[in-house]
Structure 1
Amino acid sequence: MLCQVCASIDLDEANATISWEEFLRRPRNKRSAFGYRHHASWSALEKAADEGCEMCQAFRSVAIDGVQHEAESHLWLRTEKTRHSVGLKLSNESVASFLSRLGVFTTQEHFMFTGRAVSPQAGLPEVFDMARSWLETCLLHHSGCGRPGTVSLPTRVIDVGPSDGSEEARLHLSNGEIGEWISLSHRWGSQNILTTVQSNLQAHCQQLPWSSLSKTFQDAIKVTRELGFRYLWIDSLCILQDSSDDWVKESAKMGSYYKDATLSIAASHPNSAEKGILAKRESVMFNGTADFATMVPCSSSEGTSNIYIRKHLLSFEDMLDSKHFNPLELRGWVLQETMLAPRTLYFTQEQLIWHCRTCGRVEADRNPMFSASLPLNWTNPKAFISLNGASMPAAVSSEDTDQPPDAHGAWLRIVIDFCGRKLTYADDLFPAISGLAREVHRMTGDTYCAGLWRGDIARGLMWYRQAPVKETPKYLAPSWSWASKASAVDGGMDPYFMIQNTRIVEGTSLEVIDVQLELATSDSFGKLKGGRIRVKGWIWNAYLFDGNSDAQGKASEACMNPAHGKDGTTKGDRVHVNKLDVRDDARGLIYSLDTEESLEEFLKVDGTHSPFLALGVGVLQDASDVARRYDTDMMSGLLLRKSAKVAGAYVRVGIFDGDVEGCRRDPWKMDIVDIV
């Protein structure tokens, strides 16, 4: 049943392109429709829903909490740019609030809507038919995605057997065989999953015990068979989990295992570890059915047509751009798995999603979204890879600057993304992005230095955290590397970690004399035991003090950032902002500390206020908040303290900003500094 308003929808009106701002600028007597005029108020919609209108019931069931309690204002129905959804807006004379959204699909070609029905379960034949069609189209017609080459199989792969499942899956030792394979991206979850260790390696080569495999692994084997492949790579089954030597060797190859795979399967269902990836899609259901069964007749200049309504499903862009909707993307290892794989098939709780280097597709929409039309940001992470090793595509450079795309800038963006993810083990930090580091090295030929690049050392050094952290007892990286503070005690990383990539360091006088790294393994992109960088630059001896007293105990005004408390201490997740000063000089710099120590304890070494070193790195190209406030160019640099472990060396403890002219006066001096 439909109410009169829902049964009389005019799609020409619903497809209005006028913006709300333009709508309000027009005189009332000359305003065209802001969309299809729906109910006169939210209470009128609720009344229609109570009386049995199924479309009004659907809008009410997915309404944004709280919005419906606003003033009783008119409702407008508008189509959305995705062409597979319609939305309701609540409006009054000054504002339009988004209220509710429904998905739309049709059973045949439609002049306006491209949405189509999704299957109630991912394991049905029509879903596999769609996946095979997408894969075939990509392999035959997408020159930018590349064809599978003559590459060696991974050291170990899972032989899934014939497509009919007549043989049990088993572990296969490739011994350099050439072949194609599918890789799996997944979260291990809290349950104990079957792994391969030295004691069961031979048994797994005979047969993988089906009942002991997680539901995700079982489903991944089924998908591999359905798509016509023989081999599947899963980290926990193809790497010996109790052999450190094997783990080091294989983790160094993981990037290539995803890059060279024909396809990657992503287990993006939030409960995939328990339910698998072919589970029933309960999240897309209204009233227990996969698609809301109500047909809605509509009129337009094209004639009459029927549409069907359902819960709004995530678009391709929503899926890739939000860790909230795609929990797999919270995992640190998955960043390189996503970026390096030429094709990824996402099994989500709502629908099947395809992403290759050329386009994106969703099960709920007939039309692909081509990469050329994607915004130049992380919505298209696969643009990172250039098959011919040419320059970095614009999609992964900083859109906040006028700088041309470059591999070094892309790397800084990778680090920022990576540090917002989670790792089960903190010391996996470098191995988890080693595949991406190898690609940057391939593109640039530059030297990798503990997560930084020697050819871009100035930008790489200027990382900071919006929230200081406690020191971790386990050594991860030298203090000058972002990796030294990127991982918290529980192995989760910091979503507020930043690099001053949008404040590009220009005119740097910093000279790198030498970089020495002590590797923990044979992998130069892997774990470290130590590291030292020797630089030549402008330094000064400085003292830190808070907003109450300086190094001599005299009252002083702190150099404050308006976003922080008047006492110069942390507010919420903000950093410490206090004053850095030079003896016998009243000039001040704003600084922030890397760690969470109390300022009083941090300032005292051997019971006294001890000097620090301020090392100038360079001038900020575009104005920071502070620079705009004081109308001056800003110098940025590192705050250093003497190392308690290495004689004659310093450790990084924070960063600072200050006006350029003030920083260029005495007592700056050019000197050589070792930082560990």
Structure 2
Amino acid sequence: MWSPPSGFESHVRLLSRIVLGAFQQQATSHNDLGRVKTNEYCQRQCTGCGEICDLIRWGEVQRRQDSSFEGCSSPRMVHHSFLELDYCARVSGCDTCRTLRRAFLLEQITGRDVESLTNPDLQSPVYAVLSIESSGDRLLLTSTPPQKPSFSATVALNHEPRHLVNDPTKGHARLITDFQELRRVVQDCHQNHECSSRYRWSCRNPTWLLEIKDNNHIRLVRGPERLVDYVVLSYSWGDPAEMPAAEWAKIKGAGTKTKDGVPVPERLNPFPAWHLPETMQDAIRITKTLGFNYLWIDNVCIPKGTNWDTEASLMHEVYGNAAFTLVASSSSKATDRMIKDRLAWSHRSKAVKLRGKWLHNTQMSLDKIRLESPVARRSWTLQEERLSPRILYWTEQRWYWSCPESQVAELEELGHVIPHSNSLTRRSPQLFLELCRTGDIEQLHEEWLDIVEAYTPRDLVEPRDRFLAIAGLAVRFYSAKAEAGGSFISEEYLAGLWRDNFARHLAWSVAKGANSRQNLQHIAPSWSWASLPLRMETRTKHAFNPSAHFKFISVIEEKVDSAKAMASPNCARHDSLTRGRTMEERGRGVKVVEVEGRFRRFVSENAKQESWDAIEWRRGKRVGFNFGAFPGQDLYARHDADGRIISKDAHSGEIVGQLDYLVPDESPKSPFTPYVPYGSEKEIMCLELGESAMLLLVKNPVWGHQETYRRVGVAIGYENRKGFFYGCETKTVRLA
């Protein structure tokens, strides 16, 4: 076992002693929250925690008046800052403050979060609110520095004490991970679960692996012919704009160079692990400590000059065949340490009781870790998670294990193992793989829409990798349908959408109009979500009943190599993997499709434009529309800030659409405009997708075909105008 550097903790302690002297002097002058006494339970309690007793007393009064009462108290200040709370817990020994301190630290996912929490320049008062709920009472803690992200935490209140299954503070503070417990969890999954037999894709290893040698040395080796147990690292490279140039150079420099198509000898021969960035170094240590000798890291194991397209489409094998995927949730960038002192466990754990209620810490939810860690902001890591049967999430203060049969949190207070429900409606990292295995086609399409929602807000270093970063998911999706339906299926991958449910997949929308200058329509067609700028929030989940008049006809244009095009995805002699890879490669190049559906204008030719403020109606939190000032008038209006557009005929209900792009402040130099210019709203046409879903289109001036249109938005859920397409002609149009 190695000893990680503890300089950071020492630095925090030194700063806290200096800063808290001033805090204590300030507290003494008006309210000494840090003064400690012994309460009726023989526990040390500071004056600030007496405020929590008053909150519990308030809750008792509410319950006596109304046994079914639910609600929240007013906030009470417990300490003037987190550093003051930390000082009280560490020096004064207040048992309640130790519980509150641990609660704050357990809510911090990354090392950067802990640094911000303990930064003297980011301090603000710590408040507590009592939340009375039928499921149990909770203390909600918050500290919100001005113009800085707020810190929050939760402490549960119970009638019985709850103790840690494996208390790390017994005997002495355990500031580093107990790998014995983690090794037992990993081995239990591999020996007693069906994860490997159900979800392992093939017997192939990745092309290259890192072999871990003795004395903290590693070397790059070709994947052995027989399948070996290897670990995969999923991590965030970091934002080069937020780090020194030398750090980014170190991260980029970790890539394996080649000579004559072969990795350089410096990588094929054993070399020290410290040549790699810190996150990778610690991943190597974790892998070796858990008994595994092979590790796959994208930047190292995909040598420069490798066919990146081919490797990207093989990701479902790389992650699906791994012993587990190690997600570096604690690292904001590849030069961050994963293994370090865990400050939450630096004090002895003790059951705390106030006014008959036992206080205990709760673990952070796995969903929060998945959605809020730096890894979740990187596009490539989405498929790394969704394609992995077994995942180890490594946060700053504890680890979490997730596989299709169980989820385990380190030092879990509530029974240690949380079995999954058999219901496929639950949210879990492995739901996509489970649906692929069971062949539930309808749910699989819903899961793809969820993947799109999770993918579009993420960032990419290279926008051209928009499709490559989910290529493995597309291959796995197609393979699941091919194996369910046999060798000949009608499914096609169409620039991030799927043919069999094309109308449903077309009905995506943006949460707010995008910056048109950042569009990616040189990479994907306008009707694909992949044409949106990076880091865009989209919505794909809504009630959808397909229109009987809509029909997908054919692909008109695709940009794909002729050699790839010759490999038919429906060729029976190819296995589902080969057909899936061919389908994904073809699908990236689809540009123009032909569809059929009911078609009409969105805004009538006689409509007059009105301002949005003139028709919007507000009463408190209620928002709607009031057309009373415009009786018998066709009108339309446009919200400049978010891209909403409304169309209303004189004696019919209104339809509210959402435009994909906002109008820029300055006219672009290029004649191509993905947005609808002001004054051109009457040129918008609409194509029916479902009973209450339509595409908003304008003619595409780039194409010579007179019925070629590009997408500019969508309208969904127009309950006030269900007969909008009644009697309209069915028309064949091309979407580009």
2:684 aligns with 612
Deviations 1:478-514 (A, max 9, x none): 11111111x33xxxx11x3111x22213344201111
Distance change in 2, residues 1:461/1:78 (3 Å): closer
Q: Which residue of 1 aligns with 2:663?
A: 597
| Alignment pair present for 1:112 and 2:162 | yes
Distance 1:276 1:111, change over 3 A: same
Q: Deviations over 1:277-324 (max 9, x none)?
A: 212224x2xxxxx332364576999xxx9x997xx564343544541x
Evaluate the alpha carbon distance shift between residue 536 and residue 298 of structure 1 in structure 2; reply closer, same or farther with a 3 A threshold.
closer
Which letter does structure 2 place at the counterpart of 1:614? C
1:425-456 Cα offsets, whole Å, 9 max, x none, are 22222111122222221222332111111111
CA contact (8 A) 1:169 1:207 kept: yes
Q: 5 Å matches for 1:522-561? A: 524-526=583-585, 528-543=588-603
C-alpha separation in 2, matches of 1:431 and 1:60? 45
Q: What's 1:214 paired with? A: 277
Assess if the C-alpha contact under 8 Å between 2:287 and 2:293 holds in 1: yes
- 1:424 aligns with 461
Asked if the contact 1:23–1:31 (Cα under 8 Å) also holds between the matched residues in 2, the reply is: no
Output the amino acid matched with 2:346.
Answer: D
* Distance of aligned partners of 1:474 and 1:555 in 2 relative to their CA distance in 1, 3 Å threshold: closer
| TM-score, normalised relative to structure 1 | 0.73
The residue type paired with residue 235 of structure 1 is: D
Report if the CA contact (8 A) 1:54-1:294 is conserved.
no
Instruction: Indicate whether 1:260 and 2:297 are aligned.
Output: no
Report Cα offsets for 1:320-343 as digits up to 9, x if no partner.
Answer: 4541xx221222111111121111
* In structure 1, distance between residues paired with 2:70 and 2:92: 27
- In the TM superposition, 1:218-233 aligns within 5 A as 218-233=281-296
User: AA paired with 1:292?
Assistant: H
TM-fit CA distance, 1:150: 6.2
CA distance in 2, matches of 1:638, 1:408: 20
Return the letter of the residue paired with 2:179: F
SS at match of 1:139: helix
2:110 aligned partner: none
Cα distance in 1 for partners of 2:406, 2:58 equals 33
1:608 deviation in Å?
A: 7.2
Change (3 A) 1:593 1:384: same
Aligned residues: 583
Residues 154 and 257, structure 1, Cα contact 8 Å, conserved in 2: yes
SS at the partner of 1:220? helix
For residues 556 and 149 of structure 1, the distance between their equivalents in structure 2, rounded to whole angstroms, comes to 54
Q: Matches of 1:479 and 1:76 in 2, distance apart?
A: 47
Q: Is it true that 1:236 corresponds to 2:320 in the alignment?
A: no
- Residues 616 and 117 (structure 1), Cα distance of their counterparts in 2 relative to 1, 3 Å cut: same
Q: Which amino acid is 1:130 matched to?
A: E
Alpha-carbon distance, 1:169 to partner: 0.9
Alpha-carbon distance in structure 2 between the residues aligned to 1:53 and 1:476 = 60
Shift of 1:536: 1.1
CA distance in structure 2 between the partners assigned to 1:350 and 1:612 by the alignment: 53
Contact 1:449 1:517 (8 Å CA) reproduced:
no
Paired amino acid for 1:426: P
Aligned to 1:512: 552
Contact kept? 2:695, 2:714, Cα under 8 Å: yes
2:39 counterpart residue number: 4
Work out the percentage of aligned pairs sharing the same amino acid. Answer: 22
CA distance in 2, matches of 1:513, 1:372: 42
Q: Distance in 1 between matches of 2:286 and 2:601?
A: 63
Residue among 310, 333, 342 paired with 1:281: 342
Partner of 1:401: none
Q: Structure 1 474/128 Cα, relative in aligned 2: closer, same or farther at 3 Å? A: same
Matched, 1:645 2:694: no
Contact 1:160 1:232 in 2 (8 A): yes
For residues 22 and 413 of structure 1, do their structure 2 counterparts lie closer, same or farther at Cα, with a shift above 3 Å needed? farther
- Distance in 1 between residues matched to 2:437 and 2:583, nearest whole Å: 21
Q: Would you say the 8 A contact 2:709–2:735 is kept in 1?
A: yes
The answer on whether the counterparts of 1:185 and 1:334 sit within 8 Å (CA) in structure 2 is yes
Q: Which structure 2 residue ranges, 5 or more long, are not aligned?
A: 1-35, 45-55, 105-122, 143-150, 241-247, 483-490, 565-581, 627-635, 668-674
Structure-2-length-normalised TM-score: 0.67
Where do residues 364-379 of structure 1 align in structure 2 (5 Å cutoff)?
Answer: 364-365=411-412, 367-373=415-421, 379=427
8 A Cα contact 2:128 2:141, kept in partner: no
Given the alignment, which residue of 529, 534, 543 partners 1:503?
Answer: 543
Q: In structure 1, how many angstroms separate the alpha carbons of the residues matched to 2:407 and 2:473?
A: 22
2:229 counterpart of 1:180: yes
Q: By how many angstroms is 1:613 displaced?
A: 2.2
1:578 to 643, 646, 658: 646
Q: Deviations over 1:386-445 (max 9, x none)?
A: 3882134xxxxxxxxxxx961111111111111222222222221111222222212223
Question: Residue 6 of structure 1: CA displacement?
Answer: 5.6
Q: Distance in 2 between matches of 1:300 and 1:424?
A: 54
Contact 1:156-1:174 at 8 Å conserved across structures: yes
Structure 1 portions without partners, runs of 5+: 10-18, 91-97, 285-289, 393-403, 620-634
Per-residue deviation at 1:565? 9.6
Higher share of residues assigned helix: 2
> Residue in 2 aligned with 1:340?
387
Matches within 5 A, 1:64-103: 68=127, 87=139, 101-102=154-155
Cα offset for 1:270?
A: 3.2
Tell me the CA shift for residue 57 of structure 1.
3.7
Structure 1 residues 76, 591: CA separation in 2 closer, same or farther (over 3 Å shift)?
A: closer
Partner of 2:364 in structure 1? 315
Partner secondary structure for residue 724 of structure 2? helix
CA positional deviation for 1:276: 2.2
CA contact (8 A) 2:688 2:725 kept: no
Which of 161, 180, 205 pairs up with 1:153? 205
Instruction: Confirm or deny: 8 A CA contact 1:224 1:230 kept in the other structure.
Output: yes
Which of 355, 365, 383 is the matching residue for 2:431?
A: 383
Contact 1:89/1:99 (CA < 8 Å) preserved in 2? yes
Pairing 1:384-463 to 2, within 5 Å after superposition? 384-386=432-434, 389-392=437-440, 406-445=443-482, 446-463=491-508
Q: Work out whether residues 655 and 721 of structure 2, in 8 Å CA contact, stay in contact via their aligned partners in 1.
A: no
Counterpart of 1:196 in structure 2: which amino acid?
Answer: T
Aligned partner letter, 1:143: E
What CA distance in whole angstroms lies between the structure 1 residues aligned with 2:387 and 2:353? 45
* Alpha-carbon distance in 2 for matches of 1:341, 1:565: 47
Q: Which residue of 2 aligns with 1:292?
A: 347
